[in-house]
A and B are shown apart, each in its own frame.
Chain A
Amino acid sequence: MTVDRYGRRSDVAWGWRLLDVLIALRRRLGVDRFEPYRPYLMLAPALALVTLLAGGIVYLVYLSFHSFDTFLLRQGPWSLEQYRRLVEPPSGAFNLQTLQRTLVISVLVTVGAVTAGLPVAYFIVRTRSRTMRIVTLVLLLVPFLMGEVVRAFGWALVLGSNGLVAWVLSWFGNDSGGILGTPLAVWIGMMQVSIPLATLLILPALTRIDPDLERAAATMGAPPRRVWRHVVTPLARPGIAGAAAVVFLLSVAEYDMPAILGLGRLPFVANVIRSIYTLQNNLYLGSAFSLVLMAISTVFVVAAVAAGGIRRLRDGGGDG
């Protein structure tokens, strides 16, 4: 062991010396000048992501407002041609029907998922049994452990001509051979993820409701049904609106379930856009269709959030 002229022992504190070097370097470079900007720097990844997504949308808008020669595969001048083609013959009626089907089934999925998810979430929040709470939560997560396609084929087995549903139907003299290829099949397939998703999204809103509110309502003469209607549901509204918005957005963009459980007979917008992209090689028309769907879903989501009381979300669930 030696001691240098600054009194530093050679056998210890290499780590401290390294820190000294770093601190000196930091002073030399004047890093502290940037200190006030640090919060903004930490936002950078988020900003980068938003910019990337926004850039993509801008590009879609750019494409959708140009004409395109499908024979020469050459971009033409600015025009409304794509939007016109979307609604005019030959495929206009088909496109509109697809759009309608997408929206109707998505609304039905949203309503079903929230209606089923609310009581499940309530059970998880209020059950006294820790075991039941954990078991329910794990069961809710199971559907997410499987790939969408695997899940779809699983349902195809259940709903198809040799499946459970066809067998049960045959008891009642119905030999139609299952319900595969019907809107009901698509709806059922989509509900499997949507119910757990809605449940998990409603959960935090219910957790914030003071159980004393329900007890108080009961002492004041409200039977459980009316406690539910006048106390629980209104207080869970922000959570319900949020869950509805998310489930709806994911449903509108659904691809596998209509493709597999609809047997290709019941395409959603996403399925049609894919065929426009890959079979017709027409990015321009596909962009237009995407943007139309996006605009319509945005209206739906804004309506849902407004109905759920965006003000209340800001007040922290309304327990102010």
Chain B
Amino acid sequence: MQKLFPHPYLSATLLLTWVLLMNSIGPGAVLMGGFLGVVIPLLTAPYWPEHAAMKHPLRLVAYIGLVLGDVVVSSIQVAAIILFKPVDQIQSAWICVPIDLPSPEAQALLAGTITMTPGTLTADFAADGKSLLIHSLHAPDPDAVCAEIKSRYEARLKRIFT
């Protein structure tokens, strides 16, 4: 079972994706989706050898809701900065955020969240996965940005994965 489905979440996601793309739940769509859900994880397994332990998957739903809300608010803030702030008053900064997340999957989720939320962008990882290099569009106080990322997103991700 473990050999046939190295990543059960990925298999389920692929099946769901195919059914939604076909926009039907007929036997053809489900069969093809099931086929993709078995074959793609098997073919990509060598590139994803470890198994992500997501202890509380339901909390991920609440997390996605929080991030979506933040995306709207922050898009408006960034739009205001672009429109109304004189170019020489925009204080961009590189920020190093020390992180302590258990798995590469959690680190990737945090990095993606940072890029999608307003005003910040993940630019690089540290070679040991313990820090993220972030570029902030307008950060008069870089430490506050770092603290907000740690308390708002990293703490929640930790609770999902451990």
Say whether A and B bind each other: no
